[in-house]
Amino acid sequence: MSLAKIIAIVNQKGGVGKTTTAINVSSALGILKQKVLLIDTDPKANATSGLGILTKNINNSILNLYNGDKATRDCIIETCSPNLKIIPGSVGLSEIAVNLKNLNINSLRIALAEIKNEFDYIIIDCSPSLGYLTLNSLVASDAVIIPIQCEYFALNSLNNLMSSIESVKTSFNSKLSIEGILVTMCDKKGRHNKKILDDLEVGFRDQIFNTIIKRNISLSEAPRFGTSVHYYNTKSQGAIDYLNLSSEIIKNKSCMKTKLISKKIPKIINNEKLVLPHKLKVRNLDAYKAYSTNDDNYDKLKGLNKKEVVYYIGLMYNDIHSDVWMYRITKKKNLFKKKYLYLYFNNNRVKQIETKRFKFG
Ligand code: ADP
Ligand code: MG
């Protein structure tokens, strides 16, 4: 196996779609049969929770990696998504970021060298700053993806970011390249957006991905269910956009030097079938309720594995590693009157199902 391509998702601005891109590009690359490791370096750990992993319930995180108290391989955990593993984020990371003496500018690069031959892609979600942690990520990376929100002010900060990347390149990491500028949250019909895209074309023509990520509600809803958009709403525009982007990234890797200049969004993905079970045609608990008129119908969940349950009804309040998952069925105000669906797993499969009122313990 060749060495992984390490790609950092960077922009010093918050709310531009870094984490959304990190989660869904990783998931899409995995669906396209690439072995992927996602690394969450943002102390907010949104990429981690967005994949259904609650940081309070796990012992491995990026913190162990930076502290050097665990081997890199021991910081990695499985996710529900095919071919996708993660080094979870940690709120403790913000302390490390201020305590610079623990940090060597090469920490992440050295840690990743140990496992680089086990993956095709390593995707790093960065925090919205160009501080020491992001610098560490840039030193460790082969390339960067720069998500920019489709709005006028995005262009102002893009020049700054480009020159910061250029100086990292000259001082620390000469192989660092721009994988692409990714336009996110675009509403293509708006004239305003069209003007921004035209301006971008002037300055950065060869660096913009052909794929543009459109504004799509499923992309913002999926993290609440602890899953990528591909398992939350398989046929949504967001799912398709991130699959297209990922196929562009795969193309770039196989012919490293020749960038696609064609304006057409690649349609390759239309031929890709998602390998998902299709026994039930529901995709969240509300849909499931509308479809099932009595409790017995939840029995259809029996025997499904965790991945399938996440696909069908999401991952409401649950830690993916626990063996009891609960879902609220009724919306009554009084906590004790609310009814819940409990799923009990054994060997990763739903063994028992109960609907009952909330109970402590
Ligand atoms: P960042 O990591 O750069 O801070 P996020 O990925 O967390 O940005 O995105 C900021 C907000 O915008 C989140 O609420 C996210 O759900 C939403 N969002 C991101 N991309 C899209 C999109 N294409 N369509 C709709 N909402 C989006
Ligand atoms: Mg983020």
User: Given this model, what pLDDT does residue 196 score?
Assistant: 78
Helix (H, G, I), strand (E, B) or coil at 34: coil
Q: Average model confidence (pLDDT) for the chain?
A: 81
Q: Is 35 left (phi over 0), alpha (psi -120 to 50) or beta?
A: beta
Provide the pLDDT confidence category of residue 92 given band limits of 50, 70 and 90. confident
Least confident residue range of 60-64, 81-85, 226-230, 293-297: 293-297
Mean pLDDT of 208-234: 89
CB 95 within 8 A of CB 62: no
Residue 111 or 56, more confident: 111
- Ligand 1: atom nearest CA of 22 is 6
* DSSP per position, 231-275: HH-TTSHHHHHHHHHHHHHHHHHHTTT------SPP-GGGGPPP-
Provide the pLDDT confidence category of residue 197 given band limits of 50, 70 and 90. confident
Provide the pLDDT confidence category of residue 274 given band limits of 50, 70 and 90. very low
Provide the pLDDT confidence category of residue 8 given band limits of 50, 70 and 90. very high
User: Given this model, what pLDDT does residue 251 score?
Assistant: 86
- The residue behind tokens 């939840």 is 298
What does the pLDDT look like over 152-166, one tens digit per residue? Answer: 777 778 888 999 999
What does the pLDDT look like over 224-269, one tens digit per residue? Answer: 888 899 888 887 889 889 999 998 999 887 754 433 322 232 333 3
Residue 205 or 267, more confident: 205
CB 226 within 8 A of CB 310: yes
Q: Ligand 2 centre and the CA of 235: distance in Å?
A: 24
Residue 29 or 95, more confident: 29
**Which of 220, 225, 240, 245 for mutating ligand 1's site (highest number of atoms within 8 Å of CB)?**
220
Q: Tell whether ligand 1 has an atom less than 6 A from the beta carbon of residue 23.
A: no
Q: Ligand 2 centre and the CA of 343: distance in Å?
A: 31
Give the class (CATH, top level) of 5-253. alpha beta
Domain 5-253 shares a fold with domain 278-357? no
- Ligand 1: atom nearest CA of 184 is 23
What CATH number should be reported for the domain whose range is 278-357?
A: 3.30.1450.10
Closest C-alpha residue for ligand 1 atom 6: 17
- Ligand 1: atom nearest CA of 238 is 23
The domain limits of the chain are 5-253, 278-357
Q: Tell whether ligand 1 has an atom less than 6 A from the beta carbon of residue 277.
A: no
What does the pLDDT look like over 113-139, one tens digit per residue? Answer: 999 999 999 999 999 988 888 999 999
The burial class, CB within 10 Å (0-12 / 13-18 / 19+), for 239 is buried
Question: pLDDT above 90 covers what percent of the chain?
Answer: 44
Q: Tell whether ligand 1 has an atom less than 6 A from the beta carbon of residue 184.
A: yes
Q: How far apart, in whole angstroms, are the C-alpha atoms of residue 71 and residue 75?
A: 7
Residue 77 bridge partners (DSSP): 86
pLDDT at 176 over 70: yes
Q: Tell whether ligand 1 has an atom less than 6 A from the beta carbon of residue 185.
A: yes
